[in-house]
Amino acid sequence: MKFKINNISVITDGEQSSKAMVFIHGFPYDHSMWKKQIDFFSKSYYCISYDVRGFGESDNFDGQHTMEMFVDDLEMVIDEMNLNKPVICGLSMGGYIALRAIERFQTKLSAAILCNTRSQADDNAGRLKRALAIKRINTEGHKNFVKEFITNCFGDYFKVNFNEELQSIIEHSQNFNPKAIKGALLAMLSRTDTTSILETIEIPVLLICGENDNLTPPQVMKEMFHKIKNSEFYEIPLAGHLAPIENHSEVNSAIQKFLKKINY
Ligand code: MLT
């Protein structure tokens, strides 16, 4: 089912009576990046995916976005749908949203799955890189930026063996509003650092990282794993920054084992 809550596009799959999982996509994608997980988990869970404001079919509002607004939207989806302590699953930017959501309202959640993400905020070099990207989009449009950014996220194995799929992901993302891309860059550039809350996380957390992720390398996620008391870490072979797409069977099996272990 597809519907809108306050202009945020929400998609549900599976039985409403089942336990809920909420999927939060990365940048610059939309809910469809979770297709392989939703096809698999909707057999046993009520899967909710949504488009972060500006992306997919969600409204871009005024294009001036903050991480807090992204987290407000997630909380609104959980509250408006009366979800009973869902498991949230976020990739990269979706992981930033999930981490800040944990900081703000972990009592509303059963567990979190953090894929290819980090708790640190951008450093100065990272902020300047995003500022440069915005400048580039203003001068030459967003299509080349989107193409280069996405290509750089995927590992060599996927690029060589699934090039057609990669090109269709790029084309899909090139259709997004450039103002949404810039709005998300600003939201990520100005997000807070959530490293200090890792030791206060009480809910179980699964950390997933592609072995060839050069944006959030395994070492970065292992450090998070050491700080979160009730956590597990999985390194996914033959995958870069988009592990759930690049090696969905390994990712699905890691998630399935985790859900079983936490009795969800
Ligand atoms: C993502 O995949 O969401 C992005 O790589 C996040 C970022 O640019 O920090």
pLDDT of residue 138: 98
Q: Give me ligand 1 centre to Cα 92, in Å.
A: 5
Please tell me the pTM assigned to this model: 0.98
pLDDT of residue 227: 98
- Quote the domain boundaries for residue 47: 2-261
pLDDT of residue 260: 98
- Say how far apart CA 214 and CA 218 lie, in whole Å: 9
Q: How many domains does one find in the chain?
A: 1
Give the ligand 1 atom nearest the CA of 93. Answer: 3
Average pLDDT, stretch 207-212?
98
Q: Give me ligand 1 centre to Cα 148, in Å.
A: 13
Average pLDDT, stretch 14-29?
98
What are the pLDDT digits (tens) for 76-101? Answer: 999 999 999 999 999 999 999 999 99
Residue 49's region, left for phi above 0, alpha for psi from -120 to 50, else beta, is: beta
State whether the beta carbon of 86 lies less than 6 angstroms from ligand 1. Answer: no
Average pLDDT, stretch 236-255?
98
Ligand 1 binding pocket mutation candidate from 188, 191, 214, 221 (most atoms within 8 A of CB)? 188
State whether the beta carbon of 204 lies less than 6 angstroms from ligand 1. Answer: no
State whether the beta carbon of 93 lies less than 6 angstroms from ligand 1. Answer: yes
Q: Give me ligand 1 centre to Cα 69, in Å.
A: 17
- Residue 263, judged by CB atoms within 10 A of its CB (0-12, 13-18, 19+), counts as exposed
Q: Give me ligand 1 centre to Cα 231, in Å.
A: 22
State whether the beta carbon of 33 lies less than 6 angstroms from ligand 1. Answer: no
Residue 211 binned pLDDT confidence (cut-offs 50, 70, 90)? very high
- Enumerate residues 6+ apart whose C-beta is below 8 A from 141: 178
> Which CATH number belongs to the domain containing residue 219 in this structure?
3.40.50.1820
What are the pLDDT digits (tens) for 103-126? Answer: 999 999 999 999 999 999 999 999
Ligand 1 binding pocket mutation candidate from 25, 215, 221, 246 (most atoms within 8 A of CB)? 215
Average pLDDT, stretch 153-173?
98
